[in-house]
Structure 1
Amino acid sequence: MSILPEVQVTVLDESGLKEHHGFPTGMGLSLMDAIKAAGYPIEAVCGGLALCATCRLDLLEGTVSEPTDAELDMLDTLPDSRPSSRLACQIRLESLSDGQATVRLH
C-alpha cells in the first residue's frame, strides 16, 4: 500500500457546520494534530496518549487503523461512547486507507 501525499477529511463541528480539509501525510501527524491545526477547539489534555478522551470524535465515513487496547479501554469509560467513537490522537493520517474520512466532533 502506498502512502497518499494528502488525505481529505470532512469535519462536522458541534454546531453542525461542515468543512472539507486536505491534510498532508508523511509527517507522522495524528488526526487530532491536523484538526487542531485547522483551528478546531480540541482540548487534547493528555497530549495524544489516549489517557483523557478529550479528542473523541465519531468516524462517520472512512477506513482507518483498528483501535488499540488502550484506546478501547478509554472509550469504554465514556457513558455516551458508540461503535463510531474514536480518539483522534490515535488515528494517524497515513492510516486513512482510502485517503478520506468524515468525522463529527464532540
Structure 2
Amino acid sequence: MTKITYFAHDGTEFTVEAEDGSTVMENAIKNAVPGIEAECGGACACATCHVYVDEAWTETVGEPEAMEEDMLDFAYDVQPNSRLSCQIKVRPELDGLVVRVPERQA
C-alpha cells in the first residue's frame, strides 16, 4: 500500500493507504476527500478532480499527457504543478505523495 496525503483547501489533512494500480482520484473518492468530485468517473473528461502536486513530488509524478493537458484548460487556477488526479496512477515510488485541492473546488 502507498500512503497519499490530501490537503483540502481549508487545510484539513486526509492521509490514506492506497492500493497500487488505483488512481489518486479513486482513493480521494473512496475516502471522501472534499473538493474531488470526479464527475466523469475518471475518464479525463471533466477536470473536477484537479489537484496541485506538492513541489517535492512533481518530478516523481511526472508530466501530464496531451489529453490531460487539454482537459486542464477547463480547470480553475491552473498552476505548473496542476494535475488531474484521475490520471495519476498509484505506484510504490509515490509512497508519501502530497496533493492539495484547489480553493475553487472547495
TM value normalised by structure 2? 0.81
- Which protein has the bigger helix share? 2
Residue among 48, 52, 71 paired with 2:42: 48
Report the Cα distance in structure 1 between the residues aligned to 2:51 and 2:76, rounded to whole angstroms. 14
> What amino acid sits opposite 1:103 in the alignment?
V
* Aligned-residue offset at 1:51: 1.1
| Pairwise CA RMSD | 1.7
Report the Cα distance in structure 2 between the residues aligned to 1:88 and 1:21, rounded to whole angstroms. 14
Report the Cα distance in structure 2 between the residues aligned to 1:15 and 1:98, rounded to whole angstroms. 24
* Aligned-residue offset at 1:74: 1.1
Residue among 82, 86, 96 paired with 1:85: 82
Report the Cα distance in structure 1 between the residues aligned to 2:65 and 2:11, rounded to whole angstroms. 29
For the structure 1 residues 98 and 23, does the alpha-carbon distance in structure 2 shift closer, same or farther, using more than 3 Å as the test?
A: closer
Gaps of 5+ in 1: 1-5
The residue matched to 1:49 in structure 2 has which SS? coil
Instruction: Name the counterpart of 1:35.
Output: 28
Runs of 4+ with deviation above 3 angstroms: none
User: Is the 8 Å Cα contact of residues 5 and 16 (structure 2) preserved in structure 1?
Assistant: yes
* Aligned-residue offset at 1:98: 4.3
Instruction: Tell me whether 1:14 sits opposite 2:16 in the alignment.
Output: no
Q: Which has the larger radius of gyration?
A: 1
Report the Cα distance in structure 2 between the residues aligned to 1:74 and 1:59, rounded to whole angstroms. 17
The alignment covers a number of residue pairs equal to 98
User: Is the 8 Å Cα contact of residues 14 and 33 (structure 2) preserved in structure 1?
Assistant: no
